[in-house]
Amino acid sequence: MLLVPCPNCGPRNSADLTLVGESEPRPDPAATTPVEWRSYLYEEDNPAGWTRETWYCRLGCGRFFVTERHRAENRFRNPPLGPSGEPPGRT
């Protein structure tokens, strides 16, 4: 079982969350070529190492957050952040 560190709910079974994908800055639509836009939408680096990912806490707090995971070892590091990089959760 993979325990995902939700910043609001604490460690939760990954079945309670949805992996949205790799987290990268959204390009400016006005200055982006179709190729770059397609790459942003559909392509992932998928490294066998650390990567920043966006998760959605589907059954818990219903919030998106960003965290770092080692894709080969399924380890998490650093406190998760909100979708814009700020500490998440308005309680």
Partner 1 sequence: MPEQAEFTGPVAGTREVSGTGWSLRDQSPIPKLLVYEDFESDGLVRGHLGVAFGASTTAPDGVLVCGVRPGEWLLLGERSGSVPPASGAVTVDLTHGLAMFRLTGPAARHVLAAVCSIDIAEAMLPNGAVCGASVARLACTLARDDVAGEHSYLILSQRSAGRYLFEALGDAGGSRT
- Residue among 8 and 39 whose Cβ is closer to partner 1: 8
Contact mark string toward partner 1, 66..85, x via CB under 8 A: --------------------
Count, residues near partner 1 per rule CB under 8 A: 17
Show contacts with partner 1 in window 3-62 (CB under 8 A): 8-9, 12-13, 15-16, 57-62
Q: What tokens appear for 43 in the block?
A: 């392509």
- Cβ proximity to partner 1: between 11 and 49 the closer is 11
- The residue whose two tokens read 């650390």 is 50
- Both tokens of 62, joined, read 């219903």
User: Are 64 and 20 spatial neighbours (Cβ–Cβ below 8 Å)?
Assistant: yes
**Which amino acid, 79?**
P
**Cβ 44 to partner 1 shortest distance, Å:** 27
Alpha helix positions (H), 1-91: 34-42
* For the chain, counts of helices (H) and of strands (E): 1, 6
By CB under 8 A, name the binding residues for partner 1.
8-9, 12-13, 15-16, 57-63, 88-91
